[in-house]
Structure 1
Amino acid sequence: MSKKTALITGAARGIGLATAKLLAADGWRIAMLDRDTDALHEAIQEVEDAVYLPYDVSDPEQVQAAISDLRSSCGRLDALVNNAGVADFGPIEETDFARWRTVMATNLDGVFLMSQAATPLLKASKGCLVNIASISGLRASTLRVAYGTSKAAVIQLTKQQAAELGEYGVRANCVCPGPVRTKLAMAVHSQDIIDAYHDAIPLNRYGSEREIAEAIAFLCSDKASYVTGQVLAADGGFDSTGVGLPALRR
């Protein structure tokens, strides 16, 4: 019960799983939450002594159940990494309200619900929130009316959390990944898009899941003890260039 505990949502794959592995290697007890129970069951085998939380962050009742399970299993919470998200892209005129709500329910409502439910435990530990937004929340792009808006809202929510929870010693920060070489991205990005990103990103490459996890781990650590309300773009310099990607508009 004395071991520092991190709860990571969307932990069954990608950045979430990479973060779970990294924090576990740093000595944290890890609670892994994902609604994809099959993938979560497989992923949890890769993280020693991890707590299995098969829940959906968009459902208020499931969120309460997850925090209850965490309290019973670990007795404490020192870091909540709100990583769960859905990427559903499409033109504005083809984004009906059902599609909009599906994106918002996980990407924004899930962050709000999980953070609110976890706040008493974070106050007790003087812990931290790390919300995962996106470069799409910092700069507009085509086909991302719901996704980009949800991530921009997460950035603002993070600042609200920092402003209100700071007096309790709780820190809240946000990581905005740029293009990351995940299996999903490589499956849907055409060669034109890959080439365009290479040209537009100052570091001339995609990031890795591990590199994003390193940024998250820093914000969870005591090394960031005086850092709160900040938005960290882990994007190879993509946001600083302001260069559009014509390949994404076709």
Structure 2
Amino acid sequence: MGKRVIVTGGAGYIGSHILVELLNEGSHALVIDDLSNASPIALDRVAAITGRKPGFLKADLADAAQQRAVLDAVAAFRPTGAIHLAGLKAVGESVSDPMRYYAVNLGSALTLIRAMEAAGARKIVFSSSATVYGDLNQSPVSETGATGPANPYGKSKFFIEEMLRDLASADARWRIANLRYFNPAGAHPSGLIGEDPHGVPNNLFPYIAQVAVGRLPKLRVFGGDYPTPDGTGVRDYIHVVDLAR
């Protein structure tokens, strides 16, 4: 039997690209997504690329009233593992509404863990973030670099990492990987899926794209005193297809 993978947040930017890789390799996938920052159209486009459509459950993992539906769907799917992408991700918003970020991000992770345990599956890849390193004073950054998240979003990611670490320490059957990537960019070469967030983008590349096509009036560049040739900031990027693979 091939891999059977739960992909939370699978209708989003990164999730849709992961689905393409999974389905193309012959795996089965079940997407759990509340569609708060994604569209079911992405799943149709994944099907157009791969010739296969993943299963789908519209659900908010952090909503206690929906947990029974999540547990039942995961049990029925019989997963061999999960990729956890679902959660809130705007740094600025997390500063103004930190409790919402802790409730949603940690609550979503806890629900997934419970569902996986109940289904007898103990493999999780967690979409963490380079924000767990905080304000970086050295480059490049190694995986063993000191952590120190500087905002509630980064802290919520770090707390989930620690929760997963404790889980694996308590039960050696768990296999867990945390991905601390920086900024995903780009799109599938088909052009059918890419980053097109609801509202004002939080990432640079979709912001540039929306200005280019006239959906936003201009691009603001913040900061002019960084230690770089032109004084503007430098960011690290990874192509979304490389990340998915």
| Superposition TM-score, scaled by structure 1 size | 0.68
Could you tell me whether the CA contact under 8 Å between 1:13 and 1:43 is conserved in 2? yes
Could you tell me whether the CA contact under 8 Å between 2:134 and 2:150 is conserved in 1? no
Aligned pairs, how many? 196
1:22 equivalent in structure 2: 21
1:162 to 2:160 alignment: no
Partner AA of 1:120 in structure 2: A
Could you tell me whether the CA contact under 8 Å between 1:86 and 1:107 is conserved in 2? yes
124, 128, 134: which one aligns with 2:123: 128
Closer, same or farther: CA 149–140 of 1 in aligned 2, 3 Å: farther
- Alpha-carbon shift at residue 188 of structure 1 (Å): 5.0
Q: CA–CA distance in 2 between the matches of 1:163 and 1:80?
A: 19
1:172 to 2:176 alignment: yes
- Alpha-carbon shift at residue 113 of structure 1 (Å): 1.7
181, 188, 193: which one aligns with 2:185: 181
1:196 equivalent in structure 2: 233
CA deviation vs aligned residue, 1:51-85 (integer Å, no higher than 9, x gap): 1110001113323312312333x3x1111111112
Could you tell me whether the CA contact under 8 Å between 1:64 and 1:117 is conserved in 2? no
2:159 equivalent in structure 1: 153
2:3 equivalent in structure 1: 4
Q: CA–CA distance in 1 between the matches of 2:68 and 2:39?
A: 19
Q: CA–CA distance in 2 between the matches of 1:130 and 1:179?
A: 18
In the alignment, structure 2 segments of 5+ residues that lack a partner are: 137-148, 187-194, 196-200, 209-219, 224-231
1:62 equivalent in structure 2: 66
Partner AA of 2:233 in structure 1: A
Closer, same or farther: CA 68–135 of 1 in aligned 2, 3 Å: same
Partner AA of 1:116 in structure 2: R
86, 89, 101: which one aligns with 2:88: 86
| Superposition TM-score, scaled by structure 2 size | 0.69
Q: CA–CA distance in 2 between the matches of 1:86 and 1:212?
A: 19
- Alpha-carbon shift at residue 164 of structure 1 (Å): 2.2
| Deviating 4+ runs (over 6 angstroms) | none
1:139 to 2:139 alignment: no
Q: CA–CA distance in 1 between the matches of 2:171 and 2:181?
A: 24
In the alignment, structure 1 segments of 5+ residues that lack a partner are: 215-250
Closer, same or farther: CA 138–37 of 1 in aligned 2, 3 Å: closer
Could you tell me whether the CA contact under 8 Å between 1:89 and 1:144 is conserved in 2? no
Q: CA–CA distance in 2 between the matches of 1:100 and 1:44?
A: 31
- Alpha-carbon shift at residue 7 of structure 1 (Å): 0.5
2:198 equivalent in structure 1: none
Q: CA–CA distance in 1 between the matches of 2:167 and 2:125?
A: 10
Closer, same or farther: CA 110–140 of 1 in aligned 2, 3 Å: farther
Could you tell me whether the CA contact under 8 Å between 2:12 and 2:37 is conserved in 1? no
Could you tell me whether the CA contact under 8 Å between 2:88 and 2:101 is conserved in 1? yes
1:228 equivalent in structure 2: none
2:102 equivalent in structure 1: 104
Q: CA–CA distance in 2 between the matches of 1:87 and 1:146?
A: 10
Greater helix fraction, Structure 1 or Structure 2: 1
- Alpha-carbon shift at residue 114 of structure 1 (Å): 1.1
Q: CA–CA distance in 2 between the matches of 1:175 and 1:111?
A: 15
